[in-house]
Amino acid sequence: MADIDQITNLIKKEISSYNDKIETSDVGTVISVGDGVCTVYGLDKAMYGELLQFENNVYGMVLNLNEDSVGCVLLGKDTDIYEGDSVKLTGKVVSVPVGDKMMGRVVNALGAPIDGLGEIEADDYYPIEANAPSIMDRQSVSEPLETGIKAIDSMIPIGKGQRELIIGDRQTGKTAIAIDTIINQNGKDVICIYCAIGQKNSTIAQIVAKLKDHGAMDHTVIVNASASETAPMLYVAPYAATAIGEYWERRGKNVLIIYDDLSKHAVAYRAMSLLLKRSPGREAYPGDIFYLHSRLLERSCKLSDEKGGGSLTALPIVETQAGDISAYIPTNVISITDGQIFLTTDYFNAGQRPAVDSGLSVSRVGSAAQIKAMKSVASSLKIELANYNEMLDFSRFGSDLDATTKNILNHGAVLMEVLKQKQYSPLSMEDEVIDIYVAQSKKLDDVPLAQIQNVLQSVRSYLHSNHNEVYTSLKETKLLKDETKALIDEAVEAIKAGLER
Ligand code: ATP
Ligand code: MG
């Protein structure tokens, strides 16, 4: 009997000490690795989104919490990692350096400099994922964020804190709109962040060069996760860029952030999810693809005055296939944003650049932020263009047109011409108001289309040298007064007289 008691005691003792031994651990072991994802055994305490440290100074991020393993993505090369390697929990989430020293720099998705200009001294580190400001911490959009592009500022105005999608097929001038908007922020105290996702490094080099040429790089940060990098880096990039922007937003500054583009971001996330063996859904995207973009874009807003009044304006870009805006990712992002600027290949190829389709483009909140002068001249623009397009289709069927129809067609063609604008030449709000006022005064309806850009240019320089008060009045009052209108009319007549001679 005593023997049995002894044995039971022994077993009990063994069991109690065995429990001590299997305490969960901070160190795990790599089970499998490849394609930028990795399965690790033994990290029972891992948190979702936690940073993992591998050997060889490679980091990873936890994305799958399975019963007996964790699935993670690698933020670096997977060729340095082998089965059996040890992995440490860091207790931290993935963070990026933030601060004023980031300005004018090109960084990767983890905030490390890639422009060869040396280390960046960070003021702080912000986690890449953050909660969106609550409703009480926000206020409605009230100030315009000027793009300097006539077609946008007049018909699809954007306000500070708004999220406006730029959507269109490939090569329709999506990036051009974003870059012009950054250039237009020169001297306007808006910090810009251009987040490139899955683009060629050579394209980014050109963009950086263009921004430098136009003096816009000092107020801009470029976050670049290029096509040559792994899917996890592409996935992290927009969140990191947003964290970098939030640093300034929380200090009361206005920040503009461009995600170019979220289609490639979604594709990277899909690749990652499939490798992590998450089940695919529509178009093989994982079930949480909507949340991927909603939690990103919800972070843009205008903060309340108590929170400093800073703002984060987002211009996400989405590429469509053959103009199909009802595909999965486009519809998702359209429903998350406050409107979209829709660019079409037809317009682009017909020389209508920027190729904005005014009928399918909308800004749901921006008009609250439009200045009165612009509102007064541009209010009927969209409807007139809609009429014009309708008539244009109709007129193709017959040649017998009545005078009213001819007038609508003629005026519409003039408006389309006025809305054309070259790349890298954003206009001031005053110039835009003048151009659109001139177009709407119908004084250009008898000018040959080929001359219109010329006339507008001449009117602006005429006013600059002869009646600069037009500009001062517009700038100070933000109204288009009758006496200002008279001066502009006079300028147009003078220039037109010069044409006829
Ligand atoms: P991708 O799908 O390749 O990213 P995208 O839609 O971003 O293309 P951009 O790269 O911005 O398009 O523009 C395509 C081409 O059209 C470029 O060569 C650019 O210089 C030209 N372009 C864009 N906007 C204008 C414009 N307003 N006037 C003249 N050329 C323009
Ligand atoms: Mg582009």
Where are the strands (E) in 135-245, listed by range?
A: 138-139, 165-168, 190-197, 220-225
**In which element (H, E) is residue 458 found?**
helix 452-466
Q: Are 423 and 176 in contact, with CB atoms under 8 Å apart?
A: yes
**Ligand 2 centroid – CA 214 distance (Å):** 19
Q: From the CA of 260, which ligand is nearest?
A: 2
Question: In this structure, which amino acid lies at residue 111?
Answer: G
Interval between CA 481 and ligand 2 midpoint (Å):
40
Region 16-28: mean pLDDT is 68
Cα–Cα distance between 87 and 84 in angstroms, integer? Answer: 9
Q: Residue 2: what pLDDT? A: 59
Domain 97-370 in CATH 3.40.50.300? The answer is yes
Which residue type occupies 87? V
For 31-79, the pLDDT digits (tens) are: 999 888 999 998 988 999 999 999 888 899 999 999 889 999 999 888 8
* Reported pTM: 0.93
Residue 302 bridge partners (DSSP): 139, 311
pLDDT of residue 18: 66
Of all residues in the chain, the percent with pLDDT exceeding 90 is 85
Q: What is the pLDDT of residues 145-200, one digit of tens each?
A: 999 999 999 999 999 999 999 999 999 999 999 999 999 999 999 999 999 999 99
Which structure tokens are listed for 87? 């992995």
The answer to whether the CB of 426 is under 6 A from ligand 1 is: no
The 10s digit of each residue's pLDDT in 400-448 is 788 888 999 999 999 999 999 999 999 999 999 999 999 999 999 999 9
Q: Residue 324's closest CA among 342, 347, 350?
A: 342
Work out the average pLDDT over 120-140. Answer: 95
pLDDT in tens, 336-382: 999 999 999 999 999 999 999 999 999 999 888 899 999 999 999 99
CB–CB of 188/146 below 8 Å? Answer: yes
**Where does CATH 2.40.30.20 sit in the chain?**
24-93
**270 is a catalytic site residue:** no
Give the tokens for residue 276. Answer: 């992590």
pLDDT at position 15 is 77
The whole-number pLDDT of residue 21 equals: 52
Query: Which member of 170, 250, 364, 501 is catalytic?
Result: 364
pLDDT of residue 445: 95
- Note the ligand closest to the C-alpha atom of 349: 1
Percent helix / strand / coil, the chain, rounded to 5 = 45, 20, 35
pLDDT at 500: 65
Write the pLDDT tens digit of every residue in 297-343: 999 999 999 999 999 999 999 999 999 999 999 999 999 999 999 99
* Residue 206 CB less than 6 A away from ligand 1: no
Q: Is there a contact between 444 and 459 (Cβ–Cβ < 8 Å)? A: no
pLDDT confidence tier of residue 11, bands split at 50, 70 and 90: confident
Quote the tokens at residue 121: 């001294």
Instruction: Give me the helix-helix angle, 469-477 and 482-500, nearest 10°.
Output: 140
pLDDT at 420: 97
Residues of the chain with CATH 3.40.50.300: 97-370
Please give the distance, rounded to the nearest whole angstrom, from the Cα atom of residue 353 to the centre of ligand 1: 9
Closest by alpha carbon to 154, among 378, 363, 332?
378
Q: What is the pLDDT of residue 501?
A: 52
| The predicted structure's pLDDT at residue 275 | 92
Q: Give the pLDDT of residue 24.
A: 58
Tell me the average pLDDT across 387-399.
84
Mean pLDDT of the chain: 93
Q: 64: left (phi > 0), else alpha (psi -120 to 50), else beta? A: beta
Top-level class of domain 377-500: mainly alpha
The upper half-sphere exposure of residue 142, i.e. CA atoms within 13 Å in the direction of its Cβ, equals 9
Torsion sign across C-alpha atoms 246, 250, 251, 255:
positive
Question: 24-93 is classed in which CATH architecture?
Answer: Beta Barrel (2.40)
pLDDT at 10: 81
Residues belonging to the chain: 501
